Amino acid sequence: MAVSKIVMASLANCRPLTCAATATASSYQERLVPHPPDLIKWVRREGGFVHQAIKISQHGTNGLGLIASHDIPKGSQLIALPDNIPLKFGDEDGVDEAHSVLVNLAQKVPDELWAMKLGLKLLQERARVSSFWWPYISNLPQTYSVPIFFQGEDIKNLQYAPLVYQVNRRCRFLLDFEQEVKRALENLKQNDHPFDRQDVDASSLGWSMSAVSSRAFRLHGKKLPDGTRIDAPMMLPLIDMCNHAFNPNAQIIQEQDAGSAKMLIKVVAETPIKQNDAILLNYGCLNNDLFLLDYGFVIPSNPYDCIELKYDGAFLDAASVAAGVSSPKFSSPAPWQQQFLSQLNLVGEAANLKVTLGGQDLVDGRLLAALRVLLASDMEMVRKHDMDTLKSLSADAPLGIANEVSAYRTIIALCVIALEHFPTKIMEDESSLKQGVSASTELAIQFRIQKKSVIIDVMSDLTRRAKSLLSKNTTACQG
């Protein structure tokens, strides 16, 4: 009976960290608690500023976000957060045993999964009934639409090996890290337990990592003795409810708080904002891999989206033959061509064989330079050009029109092969969407449609360029 009372008393001072195993489209909109505190009132009460025209509302398919209830002039301050409101993982937490456990666990997290480090702090605050940040945390979603929560079949539905690899890698990390956390927490005294004796599993770790990756900002954090500040991820209550746009109407500004060394984080209107417009920030010029992996959404016609390929000589030989390019030498370059490949870091033990198509450059500069060089027979002509020129698509056929057209045709053939690796065609994908599918299946299908669209756009662009060059060449010959 005494043990039971102790357990009940313990549970009364903590919050369960359980997370939903599966999610639906509607569950992405549900908060951790059915009726969370008013976040705008909390920010104001704790010393922050929120423009009177800002409200939280559903905005189209983007979920809950910040909306203007009436027109806001350009340059207006929309939100200001004093230094005490952002949620950070820093020295301000003190040096007690519970914090030391978190620090030790954070040191075991790979740098590329930085969100998990701050996620540990978020999970700690979620478990505490007395947490200062509970009004903020209670407003966070119950579930996230990132692919680590997809069913196995929907991970396959992505149909894109680089992203499937990253998803599986994160899932493996969470399962391994769960065991790491359990080992660190066993035999701890209750007062030393960072999660108030709550069980921490891969699901709750995934929830906190996803909350951070989809909402945190990298801003100036801790001040060093020389006065400089190091970048640090932090969660910005209310600000993180701004949705994304490549052409935003607001921006984040950090300022020194008057009379103190602390930072003030503001959101300012970058353009006039009309009534009922969403408040939009630019999350970054990212491809759809990162938007889906970290944020849980896909951007149609994303100008920064691209596909990843492996540079492989034999593969390029096959593509060039299919394109009707004579005498390919990709798998057996001449010694002087090998030197150029070394400069491009495409050969050798430390070679970086990842190349991309799409995005702002359309063709990876290293791939384009390699094709131009390997399709050339005149070493002296190649050496007349610097590497930047050889890597630039805007350079006007530096090694001649025939060389340039052969390079384009080889890339187009690569695109054809890449498309053939997808089990389904775009028309089939669009038909599947019309039939009605789960939220995660829909995201997976949207993602692969956009990847295929990138490939088709590259093919169309290079075909147009090749035709233009051949037309110029014909005109020149006739002249």
Mean pLDDT of the 442-449 span: 97
Q: Are 436 and 364 in contact (CB under 8 A)?
A: no
Burial letters for 322-358: b for 16+ Cβ neighbours within 10 Å, e otherwise? ebebeebbbeebeeebeebbeebebbeeeeeeebbbb
Model pLDDT, residue 93: 47
Q: What is the pTM of this model?
A: 0.89
**What is the side-by-side strand order in the sheet with 217-223?**
87-88, 229-235, 217-223
Number of alpha carbons in the 13 Å side-chain half-sphere of residue 389: 10
What percent of the chain lies above the pLDDT cut of 90?
73
Model pLDDT, residue 3: 32
Question: In this model, does residue 40 exceed pLDDT 50?
Answer: yes
Model pLDDT, residue 259: 60
Identical fold, 2-287 and 306-478: no
The verdict on domain 2-287 having CATH code 3.90.1410.10 is yes
Q: What's the pLDDT tens digit per position in 179-197? A: 999 999 998 887 888 998 8
Radius of gyration of the chain (CA): 27
What does the domain layout of the chain look like in residue ranges?
A: 2-287, 306-478
Q: What's the pLDDT tens digit per position in 49-102? A: 999 999 999 876 667 899 999 999 999 999 999 999 999 987 544 556 778 899
Question: In this model, does residue 217 exceed pLDDT 70?
Answer: yes
Q: What's the pLDDT tens digit per position in 355-379? A: 999 999 999 999 999 999 999 989 9
Tokens of 268: 């300012």
Question: In this model, does residue 230 exceed pLDDT 80?
Answer: no
Tokens of 110: 């790979």
Which of the residue ranges 103-117, 208-222, 346-360, 432-446 would you say has the lowest mean pLDDT?
208-222
Using DSSP's 3-state secondary structure scheme, residue 212 falls into: helix
Model pLDDT, residue 184: 93
Q: What is the mean pLDDT of the chain?
A: 88
Q: Are 319 and 417 in contact (CB under 8 A)?
A: yes
Mean pLDDT of the 258-272 span: 84
Q: Which helix (H) or strand (E) holds 169?
A: helix 161-185
Concatenated DSSP letters of 443-468 = HHHHHHHHHHHHHHHHHHHHHHHHHH
The verdict on domain 306-478 having CATH code 3.10.180.10 is no
| Distance in angstroms (rounded) separating the CA atoms of residues 459 and 344 | 24
Top-confidence residue, 24 or 349: 349
Give residue 328's pLDDT band: very low, low, confident or very high (50, 70, 90): low
Q: Are 133 and 141 in contact (CB under 8 A)?
A: no
A 10 A CB-CB count for 298 gives 22
Model pLDDT, residue 232: 84
What percent of the chain lies above the pLDDT cut of 70?
87
Q: Which residues contact 107 (CB under 8 A, 6 or more apart)?
A: none
Q: What's the pLDDT tens digit per position in 274-296? A: 999 999 999 999 999 999 999 99
Q: What's the pLDDT tens digit per position in 133-152? A: 999 999 999 999 999 999 99
Using DSSP's 3-state secondary structure scheme, residue 64 falls into: strand
